[in-house]
Amino acid sequence: MPTELIEALSRIDSPTVANAIEFFEVRDPTTGFASMELKCQYPDLKPMVGYAVTCTVDSTTPLPRGSNVRHELFKAIQAAPKPVAVVLQDIGPQRLRSCHAGDVLSTTFQNLGAVGLVTDGGVRDIAGILECSKDAVYRRLQELEVERRGKARAPKLSQYGDDHIMAVLKERGYRKAAVELGVGKTTLLRYMQRRGKKSPLNDRRKTPTPKGKRFEHGS
Domain ranges in the chain? 3-135, 160-206
CATH class of the structural domain 3-135: alpha beta
The three-state secondary structure class of 154 is helix
Calculate helix-pair angle for 126-158, 162-181, nearest 10 degrees: 120
Note the pLDDT of residue 206. Answer: 44
Q: Name residues of the chain where pLDDT drops below 50.
A: 138, 203-219
User: What is the pLDDT at residue 84?
Assistant: 92
Closest by Cα among 53, 111, 113 to 82 = 113
Structure confidence at residue 200 (pLDDT)? 64
Spatial contact of 125 and 100, defined as CB atoms under 8 Å apart: no
Which among 181, 132, 184, 178 is positioned nearest to 160, based on CA atoms? Answer: 181
The tens digit of pLDDT for each residue in 133-180 reads 655 554 555 555 555 555 555 556 777 778 888 888 888 787 778 777
In residues, how long is the chain? 219
- The DSSP letter of residue 34 is P
In three-state secondary structure terms, 177 is helix
